[in-house]
Structures are given as structure tokens and as C-alpha cells.
Amino acid sequence: PSRWTRVENLEKSLEGKHVMIRGRAQAIRPVGKKMAFLVVRESGFTVQCLVQAQQDLVSVQMVKYAAALSRESVIDVEGLVSVPSEPIKGATQQVEVQVRKLYCVSRALPTLPINLEDAARSEAEIEKALQAGEQLVRVNQDTRLNFRVLDLRTPANQGIFSIQSQVENAFRQFLLSEGFRQIHTPKLIAGSSEGGAAVFRLDYKGHPACLAQSPQLHKQMAICADFGRVFEIGPVFRAEDSFTHRHLCEFTGLDVEMEIKKHYFEVMDIVDRLFVSIFDSLNQNCKKDLEAVAHQYPFEPLKYLRQTLRLTYEEGVQMLKDAGVEIEPFGDLNTEAERKLGQLVLEKYGTEFYILYRYPLAVRPFYTMPCYDNPQYSNSFDVFIRGEEIISGAQRVHNAEMLEKRAESCGIDVKTISTYIDSFRYGAPTHGGFGVGLERVVMLFCGLNNIRKASLYPRDPLRIAP
Ligand code: ATP
Ligand code: AMO
């Protein structure tokens, strides 16, 4: 076993034990010449350490050394765990370490561009501190992103990216257990895969190419190649040219594609069980992370049902109309209408996670299968968390001639996707699938107000660094 104890595991049961921890000197508070308190942080968890001069154990020089450490330096501490009689404020762990040995592994600059203690405070804590006349600097989003390496050290950010990791893990585990295979499709492709303008164009050894807007074409081609059920976790590139709280120029796509036997509801059944399992696993396995996020960015736990609510697009439109919101016939729902519908659904059905299906064909991409009973509608769906889209999915057109016509009518240069269309000329299974934005899932599960908070190094129209 490791000789090291993680700060997160420093608990009262370790009282009297000798421990070694490695972390950062988050705060250093000298008390006279013979004592100094250090708050040591590891992955968002903090413990108070006491360096007190004691004959034969701790020298006055060591206290001086501790008091002179710069914040955020990486240090090793050896000492005894004790349980103070008073509750400890300003640290996550309720034990103290009586320091015996102290080493500085790597010294941080004496002045940092972000004060981590300020950066970790919630809005309410900031207000309270300001009212109490405390000097503090509100760290804005841009500064946080400019110095992301520092910003990411806050407990909330540590939590967010553990949650992200868990979403991806639960997604993979569930799909593997359902007989899906993980695939990797090319990110350098000849043309737009979504038919939109938001593509990053580039030169591919003298040939025009672009960064994949989704794995759409190649995941469908894997179905034509008898892969049956596939999923992919990979980067998605969108040359978005406007600024919203929920669009990035690069995000992580969780994509699924599968054969269907009778009906595209088979795809929705997977969405339903997959997401109930992801949400359950977050609530079970990420309790501390969710608390850390909620401490800085308060939010209510997501309300979801065991069996996901499904509404048709028309039912959604009717709910909006009844509430006085006008929707253009066969149009898309704008951001505001989607939000409003989210509220109405919550009031009526008590859930913040639901599927809206049977969208008008005109607002869906060219590869979407029209409804057999009414071609003005399509076998498609979107999925929402707290009134915002996290998933688009559909049954696909599996007939090459029809696909070609649909692409042309959507203004797509079919030459750029000819190998994709040809894939359907050799016999193609009926199939469907969906795409999920990983950052959106994390943002909305945690009720965050900006997708940049859920992206490690976000890319937006003005940001390509760090
Ligand atoms: P996707 O584009 O992948 O389908 P999305 O969440 O961007 O997912 P859209 O269907 O494109 O959803 O758009 C839904 C609504 O979001 C649009 O009607 C529009 O109001 C808004 N929207 C989409 N893209 C942008 C953007 N780049 N800037 C501002 N608003 C946008
Ligand atoms: P769509 O374009 O709706 O569908 O994308 C799927 C999901 O990806 C997320 N998303 C984004 N996240 C961050 N920044 C963006 N700019 C952005 N754009 C989209 C959303 C969205 O629901 N090929 C289809 C999927 C399919 O039918 O299988 C597709 O790409 O969460």
C-alpha cells in the first residue's frame, strides 16, 4: 500500500496515526514566531496543518520556513492526525495534522494572477465578505479561462471534471453492456457532415477538406458495414460564429448508432435507459463532487423519472400555445420557447428530463427519415435537460436515391459525400442514432450557467488558448 494518505481520506478514524500527505499550501498563517497554520489542499479537499515549535520535534527554523512558503507551492507534510475540540473552519476535513516534517517540492511565484481562495467562493460568500468590508477580487470568467491551470484547482472545478469523467464512463459502461462497440471515425473529412455552414475548412495536401462537424456519416457507414450497434466518444468541431452560453467551437460528442428492427422508438428506449443509468451513477458515485460544485454554484438536484417522459413535438407546441407562446407552423423551437417548455413540463409532469419527438422534417438534417404517415414530420427527436437541448437523434434514410434527393434539396454538394451515399447501394439495414454534447450534459445536470465551465480548455470564436 502507498505510504501516502490522500487529503480526502483524512478522517477522525485516523486519530493518532502518522501520515504523509502531498498537496498545495493553499493558505499560510503565521501566529507569532513559534507557530504557523498551513491549509494543505489536494484535488479540492483541504486539511489544516499545525507547525508548532516543540523541543526535539519541531524547530523554530522550521516554523519560519513554513511561514515563508508561497501559496500554491507543492509541499510534502509528515505528521500526526489529531481531532481538535472545536470544529475546523476553512478546511474540508475535520481533523488536523500536527506537522513533524515539511518539504517544499516546487515553489510557486509569490504573487499569482488568481487568488485561489477568492476564486473558490460562491456569489453569496462574496457578497457576505464584501459587506463585512473584506478585501477581495471577484475573478471574472475571462481571467479564469486565461489562467485556467490555476482556476481548475478550485474544489468546484475539480468536481466538475470528475463528474464529466463519470458521465463518459457511465455512457461507455452502459453501451458496452448492451452490445455496442466503441469506434473511432476520422476527424479530417472531405465535406460538411451536418450540411451546415459552421465548418472549419482546411487544406488536405492540396485537397479541400474540413474538420468533422460530427461522426454522422461514418457512424452510419459502420452500420452499413454490419457493425450492428456502435458508439463513439470524440471531438466535434463547429465553426460557430456567435456567442451563446451553450455553444463551443470544439466539444466532445457522445455518439450512438444502431440497427433498428421495427421503429425508431428502439433508439429512444436506449436514450431512456442510458440516461437514467448515467444520472443514477452520478448521484451514487459523485456525491462529494456534486457537493463541491453546489457549494460554489448552488443548484437543485435534477428531477427525472424512472421512465423518461416522451412528448410529441406537436404536444409541446400545444403546451406552449396554451401558455400564450406563438410557434411558427413546422418551425423550430427557439431557445426561449425551449426554456419555457421546460418550465411547463416540470410543472405538469414533475420532470426536468424529457424527449420531444416527431419534429417537422424541414428543421432536421438531410439524413433524417421522414414519417411514413406524414412526410411533413420526421422520425426524429431531441432530448432536454432543464429546458435545454442535450441530444438530437433520428431514424436515418437508408435508401441511396432518397438520400441523394434529400441532400440535394438541402443544398448539399453531393459530390463531397458520394462515398457515404454509395454505402447505401450495397444493402443497408434500417437504423437510427443520436448525438449528445458531453459538456452540455455536465453543464445542465449541475445547473451551470455557461458551457465554458464544463469544458477543460474551452474553444469559442475568440479563444484558442490556453
Ligand atoms: P444543434 O445545432 O446541434 O442542433 P443547438 O442546441 O445548437 O444544437 P439548434 O437546433 O441549432 O440547437 O438551435 C436551437 C436554437 O438555438 C435556435 O433556434 C437558436 O435560437 C439557438 N441557436 C442555435 N445556434 C445558435 C448560435 N450559434 N447563436 C445563437 N443562438 C443559436
Ligand atoms: P446536433 O448538431 O444536434 O446533432 O449535435 C448533437 C448534440 O451536440 C451538442 N452540441 C454542442 N455542444 C456544444 N457546442 C456546440 N456548438 C454544439 N452543437 C451541438 C448538443 C447537441 O444536442 N449528427 C447529429 C446527431 C445524430 O443525429 O446522431 C448531430 O450532430 O448537445
User: pLDDT tens per residue, the chain (466 residues)?
Assistant: 678 999 999 999 999 999 999 999 999 999 999 999 999 999 889 999 999 999 999 999 999 999 999 999 999 999 999 999 999 988 999 999 999 999 999 999 999 999 998 999 999 999 999 999 998 889 999 999 999 999 999 999 999 999 999 999 999 999 999 999 999 999 999 988 897 779 999 999 999 999 999 999 999 999 999 999 999 999 999 998 889 999 999 999 999 999 999 999 999 999 999 999 999 999 999 999 999 999 999 999 999 999 999 999 999 999 999 999 999 999 999 999 999 999 999 999 999 999 999 999 999 999 999 999 999 999 999 999 999 999 999 999 999 999 999 999 999 989 989 999 999 999 999 999 999 999 999 999 999 999 999 999 999 999 999 9
Does the pTM of the predicted model rise above 0.80? Answer: yes
Q: What is the DSSP string of 40-58?
A: EEETTEEEEEEEE-BTTTB
Quick one: residue 274, left, alpha or beta (phi over 0 = left, psi -120 to 50 = alpha)? Answer: alpha
Active site residue 431: no
CA distance 316 to 326: 12
Cβ–Cβ under 8 Å, residues 151 and 114? yes
Residues with C-beta less than 6 Å from any ligand 2 atom: 194, 214, 216, 238, 240, 247-248, 251, 253, 255, 389-394, 433-437, 439-440, 451
Active site residue 336: no
Distance 2 CA to ligand 2 centre (A): 43
Active site residue 238: yes
Neighbouring CB atoms inside 10 A of 388's CB total: 16
Distance 352 CA to ligand 1 centre (A): 20
Closest protein CA for atom 19 of ligand 2: 437
Closest protein CA for atom 12 of ligand 2: 437
Closest protein CA for atom 9 of ligand 2: 437
Cβ–Cβ under 8 Å, residues 36 and 45? no
DSSP state of 304: -
Closest protein CA for atom 7 of ligand 1: 247
Distance 235 CA to ligand 2 centre (A): 11
Which residue blocks in 148-264 are alpha helix, DSSP H?
148-151, 155-177, 216-224
**ipTM for this model:** 0.90
Mutate to test the pocket of ligand 1, among 389, 434, 462 (most ligand atoms within 8 A of CB): 389
